[in-house]
Amino acid sequence: MIQKTARAAEKASAKALQRCLLPACGATYSLSERIYVCPRCGGPLEIDCSLIAPDNPEALRKLWRDRAVSRDPRDASGVWRYREMLPFDDDAPIVTLREGNTPLYDGPRSADYCALGSLRLKHQGCNPTGSFKDTGMSAAVTQALVLGTRTVVCASTGNTAASLAAYAARAGLQAAILLPHGQITAAKLAQSMDYGALVCEIDGNFDDCMRLIQQLGDDPSIYVANSINPFRIEGQKTVAFELMEQCGWQVPDHVVVPGGNMGNSSAFGKGFSELRALGLIDRIPKLNVIQAEGSAPLAHLFAELGNDQIASDAEIPDAIEPVEHPRTLATAIKIGAPVSWQKSLRTVLRSGGRIIAVSEQEIADAKAIIGRDGIGCEPASATTVAGIKKLVAAGHIRPADAVVAVLTGHVLKDPDYVSHYHRGTLSLESQPISGAFRNVPVHVAATKSAILEILERRR
Ligand code: F0G
C-alpha cells in the first residue's frame, strides 16, 4: 500500500508544470523553461505538482515518518523526505546539506508576554546556514543542475546570499550575490565570503539589487535563485509538512511569519493548500505576516482593504505602493518593494489571516523575551512574537488559540544588535531604542565572595 501510494504520487508529480497565477491568464509552461514570471503577462508563476490524493493518507504519513530514521541522504533532508510532493524526477542530482528537520519549541515566557496560554516556536534558524532559506535553496540549486546552468545569482539582505553561496559550493556552481553595500550584517557577509561566492556590494538598497537581478535573469548563462524562482518555493513549502508532522497533524489556529520579499509566507500557504488537497489536513491555519513598521508596504496595502475583502478570497490589486526608503534594524526584512507580494496576499486572504506592522521597540523587546526562553533568533524573526502580542491585544488571536511563530534566522546572524540592545546603545537613525529587558554584563572582582554576593543580590 505504501509503495502504491508513493508511486501514485511520484507519477503524478512527473506531470508537474509551471502555471501563471493570475486568473485572467493562467498560462502553463514546462518545468524545463528557465522563467521566473509569466512570459505572456508578467504574472507570478507557481509550480502545479498535479498531486493525486492517496487512497490512504495515513500510509503517506507513515512513509515520511519512517524515512526520518533512514540513512539515505535524501531521507536525512527535511526537504527531500517529502519528495512525492516535489516536481523532480527520481534521478534528479539532489543538492543537500541536510536542511530542514528544525525544532518546534515551547516558549512559555514568550506565551506569557503575548497573553497566550501557550506558544510554539518553529526555529528555522537551525538550518545548515542558520536561516530558513536553505530548504528552498536545496530545491533551486538542484533545479539549476537539472537545467545545466553554470552560474546562479541572487539579490539579498544577507541570508539568501549565505544560503545560495553554500549550496552553489556543494553543487560546484559559480555563485554571484548582489548585496546592498554597508547594509548587511558582518556575520552574513562572512558566510558568503567563506563559501566562495562572488560577493558584489552594490551602491543602492535591496530593491535596487533585486531590479538588477531581474535584468540579469534574461542572460541564458544565469539562473536566478531569489524567491521569484518557483522552485525555491517548492523547497520552502516542505516546512508546512514538517510542522504538521511535529504537531501530530493537528492544525494550529495561527501560523505567524515575518514578511520581507514575501516568499516564505507564499511557501507556507502552498504547503498547507497541498496538504489539504491531499486530505492530509482538513483546514488551513490562519497565516499572519508581520512586517517592520519602516518597511511595511504589504501591511499598508492590507490596512486599506475593506472588511469584505479581508473576509473573502479577494481580488488581488494590480499594484502595490513601494516604500521608497525602507528603514529598520531588522535588516533581513529591510525591503520596500517585495517581489512576491501578490502570492503572499492571496495566501493570507484565503487563510483568513492578517498582515500587520510592528515598531522597532516592539521587535527589540520581543527578541529579548524569546531569548529568555533559551531560544536565540535574529531581529527579523522576533517580529512574529511582537506581532502575536498585538494580534492578541486586538482580539484577532484568542488567548487559548494554538499558535506557531516561525523564527527564520539564528541569533548569531546579528550579534551586534543583541549587544547594543542589552548595553542600552541600540538606535535607528539616532532614535534610541530602549531595552525593557536589558541584561547588562557586570564587571566583578576576581574573587569567590564577589561573585556570590552579586548572585545573592540578583536572586
Ligand atoms: N526572516 C529572515 C531572517 C530573512 O532573512 C528574511 C528574508 C525574512 C525573514 C523574510 O522572508 O523574504 O520570504 O518574506 N531575507 C531575504 C534575504 C530577503 O535576502 O536573505 P521573505
Residue with CA nearest ligand 1 atom 6: 332
Index of the ligand 1 atom closest to the CA of residue 264:
13
Strand order in the sheet with 104-106: 104-106, 120-123, 403-407, 254-258, 286-292, 355-358
Predicted confidence band of residue 3 (pLDDT cuts 50, 70, 90): very low
Per-residue pLDDT of 64-90, as tens digits, reads 999 999 999 999 999 999 999 999 999
Enter the CATH code of domain 238-432. 3.40.50.1100
Pocket-testing residue among 157, 233, 237, ligand 1, by greatest number of atoms within 8 A of Cβ: 157
What H or E segment, with its residue span, contains residue 410?
none
458 alpha carbon – ligand 1 mean position (Å):
38
Average pLDDT for 418-430: 96
159 alpha carbon – ligand 1 mean position (Å):
7
Would you state the pLDDT for residue 2? 33
369 alpha carbon – ligand 1 mean position (Å):
21
Per-residue pLDDT of 326-348, as tens digits, reads 999 999 999 999 999 999 999 99
Phi, then psi, of 175 in degrees rounded to 5: -125, 135
56 alpha carbon – ligand 1 mean position (Å):
36
Would you state the pLDDT for residue 449? 98
196 alpha carbon – ligand 1 mean position (Å):
21
* Helical H segments across 81-229, by residue range: 108-114, 133-147, 159-171, 186-194, 206-216
Residue ranges per structural domain of the chain:
133-229, 238-432
Report the pocket of ligand 1 as residue ranges, CB < 6 Å: 131, 156-160, 227, 258-264, 332-333, 378, 380-381, 408-409
Identical fold, 133-229 and 238-432 = yes
Per-residue pLDDT of 183-229, as tens digits, reads 999 999 999 999 999 999 999 999 999 999 999 999 999 999 999 99
Predicted confidence band of residue 311 (pLDDT cuts 50, 70, 90): low
Pocket-testing residue among 121, 137, 160, 227, ligand 1, by greatest number of atoms within 8 A of Cβ: 160
Residue with CA nearest ligand 1 atom 3: 409
Would you state the pLDDT for residue 11? 39
Residue with CA nearest ligand 1 atom 5: 332
Distance CA 151, CA 210 (A): 17
Contacts with 210 (C-beta within 8 Å, 6 or more apart), sequence order: 155, 226, 261, 337, 339
Q: What percent of the chain is modeled with pLDDT above 90?
A: 90
Instruction: List residues bridging with 258 in a β-sheet.
Output: 290
Index of the ligand 1 atom closest to the CA of residue 266:
13
60 alpha carbon – ligand 1 mean position (Å):
31
Predicted confidence band of residue 312 (pLDDT cuts 50, 70, 90): low
134 alpha carbon – ligand 1 mean position (Å):
11
Q: Hey, is 158 helix, strand or coil?
A: coil
Would you state the pLDDT for residue 245? 97
242 alpha carbon – ligand 1 mean position (Å):
20
Index of the ligand 1 atom closest to the CA of residue 258:
9
Residue 355 near residue 302, CB atoms below 8 Å: yes
Index of the ligand 1 atom closest to the CA of residue 378:
3
Q: What's the CATH architecture for 133-229?
A: 3-Layer(aba) Sandwich (3.40)
Index of the ligand 1 atom closest to the CA of residue 156:
19
Contacts with 413 (C-beta within 8 Å, 6 or more apart), sequence order: 125, 130, 131, 158, 159, 185, 187, 188, 332, 378
Would you state the pLDDT for residue 50? 84
Residue with CA nearest ligand 1 atom 19: 156
Per-residue pLDDT of 115-171, as tens digits, reads 999 999 999 999 999 999 999 999 999 999 999 999 999 999 999 999 999 999 999
406 alpha carbon – ligand 1 mean position (Å):
12
| Rounded (5°) CA angle 312-317-322 | 125
28 alpha carbon – ligand 1 mean position (Å):
28
